[in-house]
Structures are given as structure tokens and as C-alpha cells.
Structure 1
């Protein structure tokens, strides 16, 4: 007997409401505006914590997406608040783009133009423009896209190897030596993680602004993944590369692999919906996504339904079960099931949700724990932080609900 999909729908719909309710209650900063940069497991804010663009842009995306999908007007004030705060405090009025972080009062703290942060700003702005039809938001999204392509797209060097985006630039878009995700001293100037979220942002922008320049960038990004980021024999992603895509450092990141297994086909689907000439690309990328999901199965632990975090280069298996990895596993395996109709993929998707319910939901104080150990002991002490945001878990609920509707 298969899983009860009606019950699954009901649980995910309620969980989505619960996640949003938590952020509506505990995230807003009534003293300095915007949202707290840190809230602990006891739901106590740190009023002095810095505020990051990743957190704020993900809040913007989360409530904009909730508004667009549910049409519940209660979500718009939070989306509006996030948009206004980014406009007023993160957008660089002199050079364009967004700062990586501001202090608790909203003053620039770390003005590095990290492309990971630029991507999430574009992602949030695009979704907000889609949900609210805000002309200023769309204009800012177009401007953001323009800056990213103008200053960070790699047009130098060997034409056969160029392409993709450099990892970080200084405030004025000049070369930077300060990287956050990768290591400058090891020449890790292009990373899988940043490129994955740039692709995600461009796809979101294309939904609301289907301009040829955006379509060309999406095609180029998909080519970069196929030619340089995804290993053609293992279907796992290389994590850190230099300017010419030579591998500098890598590991097996199960969470990113299963996340990319559905984000890449999504990008190809969005392209093909507006461009019949991209149907062949869509078919190719869908097949690639299934192969990536099959490879990611190695990280799935059938004993508890959890997903291991990472296989490190030295062979050590990091068995931490992270909140975001389980959220992405739920969607990635469901996407693979939709493409193959293989029951094993559906079972793994449902098992991921069962694991989340059993070990990651904080049933007493709300939201999700950041992770648990292999023997299910709670890790961390942050419900809200620079990286602990409402985007992975709320998005997984929305994605699952939409996909489950297609299974009716």
C-alpha cells in the first residue's frame, strides 16, 4: 500500500502556514526595522546581530511566493516590509547591487558584492514583482540582473573555457580578494553553490520578464553545469573551480546534488514553455536531473529516512541531517518520481517528510531545528540567522503541494 497522499497534502499545507506564522511573529525587528539577524531556539532575538542580504532576500521570496500561491493577503505586509528594507538599506546607492550585510541598525557593514548575495536579491525581487506586479521591484530586478552580467560574468581568457560568474567583487565591482563561500588563496573563483542560485534567480526573473538576454543567460548557465560543474561519469557536482573551471577542491554534497536535480530541469522547463526551440534542451536536462537524483540516493539512509550531509574528500561521511538538505530531498525525489514514475523515488520523498516531522520540527516553539546528528540529537541554537531562513522549508512545502496536485 502506497503513502496516503491526501494526508501528505494536508500536513504540508498546515506546515507551510505554521512556518509563515513563526516568521510573522518572531522575525520582525520593531526597534530598528526589518528583521532580526538572529533568533535562538528559545525564540529570543539578538537585537545587536548583523542583518544579511541572504536572510532578507529569502524572507522577501518566501512571503512573495506565499502570496502568489495562496492569494492570502496577510502575507503581503511582510513581503512589502522586506522589499522596502532591502531598497532602503541593502541596495548600494552609489555603485548598484546589494551589500552582503548591514549592522543591526541598517548601516552598511560588509559591502562586498558577493554573487551569492546578488543572486538572492534578484530571486526575492523577481518573486515579489511577480506576486505584487510592483513596477519598482521589477525595475530593480532588471537593474540587478544588468549589474551581475556586466560586472561579474566572465568574458576573459580562453573562449572555450570562459563563461559563468566570478565569486565575489568589491563594493565598486572591482576584483575582490575576500570570499565567503570559497577560498581566494586557493583560486576558487567559481563555485557550484553560487552558480546554482544564480540560475535559480535568472529562472525566477524570466517568469516575470521573459527577455532574450535572460533566456540566453539561462541557456549559458545550463551549459556551464553540463560542461564544467556536473561530473559526466558520477553525475555529482564539482564544488570549487578556478577561472578556467579547473577543479580546486571538491566533496560530495548530497543536499546540493538533490537540490540541483530539480532546479536545473525547472530552468529548462521555464525556457521551453516560452521557446519551442528549447524542447530538446528540456529533454536533455530532465534526463540529467534524473541521473543526478539517482546519484544522490547514495546519501539517503534507509534506516531512518534521513539524508547525510556530505562525503568529504578524505572519505569521512558527515552524517548530520540538516534541515535544508531534508527539505530539498523531499522535492528532488518527488521531481524524479514525476519524471520516471518509479515508486522508489516517491517513497524517498515521503520518507524525507516523515523524518522532518519526527526529528526536525520543533513542536513546542515552532519552526525547524537547523539539524540533528545521525542519532537524532538536536544541533545548533538558531531558528533565524544569516543562513537559517524560511526559504528551503517553505519552498519545499509549496513545491510538494503543487506537484501533488499533478498526481491527482
Structure 2
């Protein structure tokens, strides 16, 4: 790759504004029932009308965030409003817990079986509150956030399948998403609560889930942070680990904590060294920490979000630290991602087989919506824009 920082900024900008956002604006809006279609084929045609709360809220967040941070485009606000109104009316049970899935009309299909629907609701409505200036949106965001805090030690509640007490495990997903969510909620929280939750999440991720000796983040550990020798306890999810590290870099940057930033970069580089496929390129989806066969049969697939979160982490790490290892890895992951996942003029593909061939002919589904691609494109654009400006000042 021989592009300048300015050329890279333009590449990310054009792909976001001319390819990816128009795809979702043209194909995903359900003007009849409200909310969004996310199950879209390569031509943008709807192949399933069920509505998954994670993805509904993520699309509200995306268009609200761009309205707030990029441009007060009234069309973007109306896209966000279409989802926010649908979700405010249909998305929760009588106790305020967010469902996992609804049918097209908004009738519940899947119970609120964990707190991640609540996490994305808090993210979505905090940004929508800023964009719309609606008090109701702010109240919904705070209610969902408090739900997450209340249930973080027992995220599945009555829907937990595990037999109590036999093999208690806690998941990296909870503190990592709470770190990012709390930064998202910052305008709505008082300073003391903000600092308390951030301190807690940084401590838990970097002490319990990061193996200091190996430099890898484990997906699940015992309640005291100890490794547990079982499928779940040996699981490494490279994408989650790398994404968690850029969340913590973001916290470190906002707090001026250079030690935390360097520690997070170390974790990213260790994870990349360990999880890059030496035969075909790209990052494995799941790995076993001891080299045993992973439980997940899709372990060797290459997924869009893993690579996009890695691009964000590497360009952020390079801008904040100047470490050449970040730039070398960025170029490697950039070349793989843009030559395999990107689809010129369209939304990106999501799922490749190990050899890098498109595995599923879809642009959206039950798990892939309007979130990872636009967020990563926006964040990388902003990082390269800053790097270009810094380069011009120093020349």
C-alpha cells in the first residue's frame, strides 16, 4: 500500500458517504411499520423481515452519531427517528428489558435473554437524544444504561442455561462493551459515576481478562480472573480482544493515560501475531488458547467486523504512539480487508471462508447491520485526517 494519509482519509470518506450509507438509506428503511430491514442480499433486496434489537439500535446510533459528529443532515436524523420511534414503542417488555428480536410489525419474537440489547439501546438513545433534543430519548437511554449496570453481574438472568455453581465464568463482552458504552453515555452522566464505571471496566479487562504473560485477552475467565480449562475458558476471540483494546485506548487518550495506551497497543500486537492466518492471510474468528480444536465450527472463517475493528485499533494506535509495528500491521490488514471484504459502490461483504472467498452472499442479516462498517470507516477517516494535518504541520 502506497497511499498517503490524505489519500487514505479520502478513501474512507468516499466509501462511507457514497457507498455504504446510501446502501442502507436506499434499502433498509421500513416506512410502513417503522424500524429497519437488515436481512439484505447483495442487491439490497429484503430476504427476511424480522427485526433484531441489536441491529435496530445500532442503526439508530449510526445515523444519530453521524448527525452529531459529522453534519446535521436532516435526512440522517429522519433515518434515526424512524428506528427510535419504533423501538421506543415496541422494543421493551413491561419491566423495561429490551427484547432480542421482533417480527416486522414489532411483536416480540425472542425474550430479553441478555443485557446486550439494553447496551445498544443506551448507545442509540444517548446519541439520538443529542441529535433530537428529546427528553424522552434521554430518559430511555438512562433507563437502559441503569439496566446494564444493575444486571452486569448476571447478564442473562433467568435465561442463563448454565447450572449454578458448577463452573462459574464471566465474559469479556460485559466489561468491554461497558467501557465503550460509558464513554458514549458521558454527556448524560455525572463525572463521579463516569469515572467510577471507567475505572472498574479498565481494571477488570486489564487485570482479569488480559493474560499478562501471554499478552492475550481471554473471552471467559473465572470470577477471580483465573483461567479455566474448558472450551469456554480457553477461547480466544481475536476481534473482541482487539476491539476491547481500542476502547481502552480511547479511555486512555481522554484521560491522558499514556501507560494504558501503550499496554493496549501491546495487547493488539500480541493478538495479531498469534491470530493471523499464515497460509491465506486474514484473522481467524476463534482460536483455542492451548491449540486444541475450537468448539466453534466457524473458527477459521474471516469476518468483516474483526478486520474493521482491527483497522480502527491499528490506525488509532499508530496516531497515539507512533509505533512502527502498528503501521506495518495496518498496511497488512488494510490490503487484506479492502481486497476481500470491500465491494465497490456497495456495502461490504461480511463472511469469507478461510481462503478468503465470499462465504455468504449477503450484505446484512441477523448479526450484520448498519454499524461496524460505517463506524470503522468514519473512525479511520477521522484518524487519517488528523494524521494528515499533523504531517502538514511538522513539514
Pairwise TM-score range, normalised by the shorter structure: 0.7 to 0.9
Q: Out of 288, 296, 320, which is 1:312 matched to?
A: 288
Q: Is 1:329 aligned with 2:310?
A: yes
Q: TM-score, normalised by structure 1?
A: 0.84
Q: Out of 253, 258, 271, which is 2:242 matched to?
A: 258
Q: Out of 362, 367, 381, which is 1:382 matched to?
A: 362
Q: Deviations over 1:61-93 (max 9, x none)?
A: 11112112221332111111111111011123x
1:161 aligns to what?
none
Q: Deviations over 1:26-75 (max 9, x none)?
A: 1112443211242223422134x421111111101111121122213321
Q: Is the 8 A contact 2:129 2:138 kept in 1?
A: yes
CA distance in structure 1 between the partners assigned to 2:321 and 2:239 by the alignment: 21
How far does residue 188 in structure 1 lie from its aligned partner after superposition? 5.6
- Unpaired segments of 5 or more residues in structure 2? 390-395
Q: Is the 8 A contact 1:382 1:388 kept in 2?
A: no
Q: Deviations over 1:125-144 (max 9, x none)?
A: 22222334332211211122
SS of 1:109 mapped into structure 2: strand
Q: Is 1:15 aligned with 2:15?
A: yes
- Unpaired segments of 5 or more residues in structure 1? 154-164, 170-174, 273-278
CA distance in structure 1 between the partners assigned to 2:263 and 2:110 by the alignment: 38
Q: Is the 8 A contact 2:208 2:224 kept in 1?
A: no
How far does residue 177 in structure 1 lie from its aligned partner after superposition? 2.4
Q: Cα distance 1:187–1:104, how it changes in 2: closer, same or farther (>3 A)?
A: farther
1:59 aligns to what?
59
Q: Is the 8 A contact 1:235 1:292 kept in 2?
A: yes
How far does residue 107 in structure 1 lie from its aligned partner after superposition? 0.7
CA distance in structure 1 between the partners assigned to 2:10 and 2:116 by the alignment: 34
How far does residue 191 in structure 1 lie from its aligned partner after superposition? 1.1
Q: Deviations over 1:110-135 (max 9, x none)?
A: 22241222111111122222334332
1:168 aligns to what?
156
Matches for 1:68-147 after TM superposition, within 5 Å: 68-71=68-71, 72-92=73-93, 94-147=94-147
SS of 2:215 mapped into structure 1: coil
CA distance in structure 2 between the partners assigned to 1:186 and 1:210 by the alignment: 39
SS of 1:46 mapped into structure 2: strand
Q: Cα distance 1:244–1:297, how it changes in 2: closer, same or farther (>3 A)?
A: closer
Q: TM-score, normalised by structure 2?
A: 0.86
2:393 aligns to what?
none
Q: Cα distance 1:342–1:186, how it changes in 2: closer, same or farther (>3 A)?
A: same
CA distance in structure 1 between the partners assigned to 2:38 and 2:318 by the alignment: 37
How far does residue 244 in structure 1 lie from its aligned partner after superposition? 4.7
Q: Is the 8 A contact 1:189 1:242 kept in 2?
A: yes
1:367 aligns to what?
347
Q: Cα distance 1:8–1:53, how it changes in 2: closer, same or farther (>3 A)?
A: same
Q: Cα distance 1:184–1:198, how it changes in 2: closer, same or farther (>3 A)?
A: farther
1:340 aligns to what?
321
SS of 2:35 mapped into structure 1: coil
Q: Cα distance 1:45–1:256, how it changes in 2: closer, same or farther (>3 A)?
A: same
CA distance in structure 2 between the partners assigned to 1:335 and 1:111 by the alignment: 37
RMSD: 2.6
